[in-house]
């Protein structure tokens, strides 16, 4: 990971530690850093390091980024993560 992605990963951990869900963090990251929507692999790296997501979970996040599923559907699929 490059320096900027590492910084964002640390920020994601801080959000996680104050009780934000993976979906909330993903939404915040994309809102504050729109370039992450264009390079979903970078968002995946950030979220995977902060939440220890499986590849399957990352596929759901990618589907959400591409508009294939809604945020509500993403939340349902990832609800076991918190």
Q: Has residue 15 got a pLDDT over 50?
A: yes
Angle between helices 22-32 and 3-17 (to 10 degrees): 140
If we measure between CA atoms, which residue out of 77, 29, 31, 74 comes closest to residue 44?
Answer: 29
Residue 4, pLDDT above cutoff 60: yes
Confidence of residue 1 (pLDDT cuts 50, 70, 90): confident
45-78 tens-digit pLDDT? 999 999 999 999 999 999 999 999 999 999 999 8
pLDDT of residue 80: 54
Task: Taking residues 27-35, report their average pLDDT.
Answer: 95
């Amino acid at each position: 990971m490059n320096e900027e992605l590492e910084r964002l990963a640390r920020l994601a951990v801080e959000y996680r530690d104050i009780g934000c869900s993976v979906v909330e963090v993903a939404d915040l990251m994309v809102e504050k850093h729109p370039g992450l929507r264009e390079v979903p692999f970078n968002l995946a790296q950030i979220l995977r390091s902060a939440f220890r997501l499986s590849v399957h979970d990352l596929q759901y996040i990618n589907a959400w980024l591409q508009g294939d599923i809604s945020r509500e559907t993403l939340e349902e699929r990832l609800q076991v993560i918190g």
